[in-house]
Structure 1
Amino acid sequence: MAAAYGIHVGNSSACLASFNNGTAAVIANDAGDRVTPAILALNGTEWEIGLPAKAGQPNSKSSIKNNKRLINCDWNEDDLTCVEGTSSCSIINDERLVKYEFTTSETTVYATPDDIATKIYAKLFTNASHSMRTEGDLKLVLAAPLHWPESSRQRLAKCAELSGFDVVQVISEPAAALLAYNIEESSEDVNVLVYRLGGSTCDASIVKVSGGFMTVEKNIFRSDLGGHCLTRDLADFIAQEFRQKWKLDPKESRRAMAKLQNHADNCKHVLSTLNSAHVFIESLLDGVDWSQNVSRARFENIISSKISSYIEPAQKVLEGFEGKIHKIVLCGGSMKIPKLQSAIANLLPEAELLSGINPDEVIAVGCAREAGLLLDLPEFALKDVNTDVEFLGKDIYLKYLDQTVHLFKEGTPIYAQNSCSVEVAKDSKDISFTLHEDPETDHFASETFNIEELCKPFTVKATIQHSKIMLQVE
């Protein structure tokens, strides 16, 4: 029996969710955490993934972070610089064919970005397998950044398939965020601001939801904004406190600053839910330990100068947009910070801020829900990572007897359905339906049904297919 899963692997973290009994739920890893750091390290001859790799990062010479940036076929020098700056392994760039060199005292291993992604998915596959009660296929929906080309989405899907998953679809991150909150089921047209702030990137999108379908109206992507900036500011603050007390500067030691960055990142996440966090760093510099309490108020004061730069993408995507924003969806681990949440909410005080799901889990939950919906549609081919959709070029009208029904609006996508109730005399035997692109012009298709056996009134259902519109009576 097949099971439905959704995964979102970002630059700094990964999340796995499943869909059962109509509900999507996040699956914890073997350490009990709902989110797994997307960090990989080689320890001797053994690969460490997630929290062990993150914990050993300050001392490791063979760790990799932000690997997702190089999975994109259109990566640039900024992406390569980011990966080099946050990883401790050597990176070989041979005419855009990137390889990582992991060196330990026991071995030297070479790996591509695809190899690293596959290992992360394999870790999540193990977690997913342990969550299954019976054996069966693990159907998976993935999310990819909106700006990624088709080749990058295919590449991402291949990595997940090599780990054991059966990938049925790759959807965009904004679409997954809306699916997590069931926004596509809205009976009215809705405009949604989707704001994602991850570990090292940020993007803002305006998505229009109409008739169950989503259209991205505007999108802004920034590769220079992310939670790493806030972590760095907090690490600099702790380093300054340490220097004032001990007259030793951690910034002069790369190892000390790596330790500080790691603890500052943990502290940042704690302060997203608690009012204070304790930082204890053993042997920070020259054998001196450091212990300090950091309050949320102090942290918010440290990052206050950065708030304007973080809301700038949202402000820019809203410029020139004439419609009203009805809802705001926040995603990305850095959006757990209350100060940033309120800053985005204050941009649109009349919009509803959706915050019922942890921001770093939203996209995975949306993917899992999409996987569950797809498994309920066995008549359609699921093996399709393409996100392009065909739409009607004209309005379609249905005529019968002396009635005219506006069946589909221009721009309606394929597989959309519409139905209407038809009232006829109880002794009627046959009825003819005709389809028109204009109610005043000749029909382009017609069909006659025998309705003698049907209850009156009956229903006619129309379904848009690739080359025709199928009519059924019931």
Structure 2
Amino acid sequence: MAAAYGIHLGNSSACLASFNNGTASVIANDAGDRVTPAVVALNGTEWEIGLPAKSGQPSSKAIIKHNKRLMNCDFNEDDLSYVESSSSCRIQNDEKLVYEFETSETTLYSNPDSIAMKIYAKLFTIASHSMSNESDLKLVLAAPLHWSNASRERLVKCAELAGFDVLQVISEPAAALLAYNIEENPEDINVLVYRLGGSTCAASIVKVSGGFMTIEKNIFRSDLGGQCLTKDLADYIAQEFRQKWKLDPQESRRAMAKLLLHADNCKHVLSTLNSAHVFIESLLDGVDWSQNVSRARFENIISSKISSYIEPAQKLVESFDGQIHKIVVCGGSMKIPKLQQAIANLIPEAEVLSGINPDEVIAVGCAREAGLLLDVPEFSMNDLNTEVEFLGKDIYLKYLDQTVQLFKEGSPAFAQNIQTVDAGTDIKNISFSLHENPESEEFATENFNVENLNKPFTLKATLQPSSVLLQVE
């Protein structure tokens, strides 16, 4: 038995989904949350992953956040400084990148791969506990569109060391479309996929035609993310505290760490409710703080930033010569109604798909892909497919007096075409030939004995990376 899972590991959070009985569903962690913070901390001599690492007393432990930025083999100095500034452990970047976790009890050294593996191990435990019987945990992962094969391979190794059996790595925009079954759309459509996470933003225009996806345009920004909105909310609460108590939390690193944590929680609550209560025990100099924040107040605080968040999508749409039919929003920050409305207003005639929680969309798409792969048992999953190769030319099939277009240019590897062959009862052998166009010479020929097959029979063609597999049934 094999179970199909999908994981999206982001800079700020991770989400795990499974695929059962034709449906993908998100699996909650041991705290009952559907999304697990992608945070790892060393507390004394104990490793904490997820919510325990994010909460508690930040000053008493060494914390690493946004580790995914440094999983990219092509990370830059801006990525390094961002991770270092948001974490509380030292980073050495001499010959190899090393994290130094120092607590009052010990000092340990680690690296980005080990940290990612710990998060995957946490998710593996959650997945194992969700199963009623023992199964192989088959997994599909999502990676940013701009990541290289080497970066994707690092994700794969970390997940496999954690216990998963990785089937495939797909791009985040492809996973977002799979979550909504958009590839099954009978008409050719253009889709804007807009992802706004904790610290990065990406916008892609994807053409969907005949079940195949093509990235037409893409923009990636590492300077836009929900952290900026959290900071604005934390600054507002700090200002309210300062006006009442004449004490400035912004002068204390410990107080601001507390404020940012509570502001982040408040932001997520306001994505679904009209008000949120903030209570911070001993914010500064032993003074507690209690305050209600309304969604209207939060939207007013972030209103000046809305245009800058929409700018990447706006640039993409303005440079695209075509109509956008659908919009898919994903990433935790896109739970904010004000941002969803701003994206919808950008292309009023497009349908906005937001039926799945934005921070769960990519994991759901990965789980659905895993389920589809497990439904094709004749494919060998030994060779990991981290980059989909697309067909450069049309392929035609000739047999008897028939000529049919078997695969269109742009078809991905493992695409299938099933033909019904109506041969006479007296025909014993049929020769099938493959051509680049109806008039060209064949580049491959295969003969089948069909004497004992029921008539009519089916011919299944599978597009493999370097050949076409023909099977008669």
With the shorter chain as reference, the TM-score category is over 0.9
**What pairs up with 1:351-390 in 2 under 5 angstroms?**
351-390=350-389
Q: What are the Cα deviations for residues 321-341 of structure 1, in whole angstroms up to 9, with x where unaligned?
A: 112212111111100000000
Aligned residue identity for 1:77: E
Q: Equivalent residues in 2 for 1:238-277 (5 A)?
A: 238-277=237-276
With over 3 angstroms needed to count, the CA separation of the structure-2 counterparts of 1:400 and 1:270, relative to structure 1, is: same
Unpaired stretches in structure 2, ≥5 consecutive residues = none
Match of 1:319, SS state, is helix
8 Å Cα contact 1:154/1:385 also seen in 2: no
* CA drift at 1:159: 1.3
Distance in 1 between residues matched to 2:113 and 2:441, nearest whole Å: 55
- Structure 1: how far apart are the matches of 2:108 and 2:336? 38
1:89 pairs with 2:93: no
Question: Are 1:70 and 2:55 matched, yes or no?
Answer: no
Indicate conservation of the 8 Å contact 2:149/2:387, yes or no.
no
Per the alignment, residue 34 of structure 2 pairs with 34
Specify whether residues 140 and 456 from structure 1 end up closer, same or farther in structure 2 by C-alpha distance, changes over 3 A only.
closer
The SS at the match of 1:440 is: coil
Range that drifts further, 375-384 or 398-407:
398-407
Residues 453/151 of structure 1: CA separation in 2 closer, same or farther (3 Å cut): closer
Counterparts in 2 of 1:70-149, with a 5 A limit? Answer: 70-95=70-95, 97-149=96-148
Q: Check conservation: 1:41, 1:60, Cα contact below 8 A.
A: no
Q: 1:438 aligns to what?
A: 437
For the residue of structure 1 that corresponds to 2:461, the secondary structure is strand
Report deviation, 1:446. 4.1
Query: Separation in 2 of the partners of 1:441 and 1:91?
Result: 60
Q: Distance in 2 between matches of 1:392 and 1:115?
A: 37
Cα gap change, 1:183 to 1:289, in 2 (>3 Å)? same
Q: Which amino acid in 2 is paired with 1:137?
A: D
Deviates more, 1:183-192 or 1:379-388: 379-388
Distance 2:149 2:470 in 1: 34
Q: CA deviation at 1:430?
A: 5.0
Question: Are 1:142 and 1:367, in contact at CA under 8 Å, matched by a contact in 2?
Answer: yes
Counterparts of 1:377 and 1:470, CA distance in 2 = 14
Name the CA distance, whole Å, in 2 between partners of 1:119 and 1:430. Answer: 57
Partner in structure 2 of residue 53 of structure 1: 53
Cα RMSD of the aligned pairs, angstroms, is 2.0
**CA-CA distance at 1:357 after TM superposition:** 0.8
Per-residue deviation, 1:203:
0.6
1:148: how far off? 1.1
Partner of 2:307: 308
CA distance change for structure 1 residues 290 and 156 in 2, over 3 Å: closer, same or farther?
same
The structure-2 alpha-carbon separation of the partners of 1:233 and 1:439, relative to structure 1 and needing over 3 Å to count, comes to same
Aligned 8 A contact 1:150 1:386 in 2: no
Q: Equivalent residue of 1:34, what SS?
A: coil
Mapping of 1:155-170 within 5 angstroms? 155-170=154-169
Superposition TM-score, scaled by structure 2 size? 0.94
The separation in 1 between residues aligned to 2:443 and 2:118, in whole angstroms, is: 54
Counterpart-to-counterpart distance in 1, 2:427 and 2:70:
66
Can you list the C-alpha shifts for 1:244-265, whole angstroms capped at 9, x where unaligned?
A: 1111111111111111111100
Residue 415 of structure 1: SS of its match in structure 2?
coil
**Aligned residues with identical type, % of pairs:** 81
What is the total number of aligned residue pairs between the two structures?
A: 473
Listed one character per residue, the Cα deviations across residues 263-312 of structure 1 (whole Å, up to 9, x for unaligned) are: 10000000000000011111111111111110000000000000000001
Counterpart residue number, 1:416:
415
Q: Which amino acid aligns with 2:51?
A: L
Query: In structure 1, the residue corresponding to 2:14 is in which secondary structure?
Result: strand
Alignment partners' CA distance in 2, 1:89 and 1:4: 36
In 2: Cα distance, 1:100 partner to 1:463 partner = 46
Partner Cα distance (1:416, 1:132) in 2? 31
